[in-house]
Amino acid sequence: MNFSGIVEDWVFWEWNERKTAEEIEEQIAENLVHPWIRIMKERSRYKYRYKDDSLLPILNKGVPDCSIEITTLNLVNNKNAVW
């Protein structure tokens, strides 16, 4: 299997928005000026267990030692986003 891309290290941040997801979707749909960037996200996650200096894929629902996520992000018509 051959892959190409950029390897990155991510930290997951979360914040609480006062608007509901429905309100945000409505604001985007109405083409109002907004701070939101619409993206389409496709991801695949591969889980591995570390054994004898090797990474072995986990084929069942076992608990992994590490995982690799391959993500494709596509921006979707963000002409009204303010960023």
The total domain count for the chain is 1
The pLDDT value recorded for residue 80 is: 59
Structural domain span for residue 69: 38-77
- Residue 10 pLDDT: 67
* Cβ-contact 74, 39 below 8 angstroms: yes
pLDDT for res 79: 65
Quick check: 82 pLDDT over 60? Answer: no
In a domain, 68, yes or no: yes
Q: Could you tell me the sign of the dihedral formed by the alpha carbons of 46, 47, 49, 50, in that order?
A: positive
What is the C-alpha radius of gyration for the chain, rounded to an integer number of angstroms? 18
| Beta-ladder partners of 69 | 45
What are the DSSP calls for 19-75, one per residue?
S-HHHHHHHHHTT--BS---EEEEEEEEEEEEETTEEEE--SSPPPSEEEEEEEEEE
DSSP symbol at 80? T
Predicted TM-score (pTM) above 0.85: no
Section 49-73 average pLDDT: 85
pLDDT tens-digit series, residues 3-29: 666 777 666 666 677 888 788 788 777
pLDDT of residue 54 exceeding 80? yes
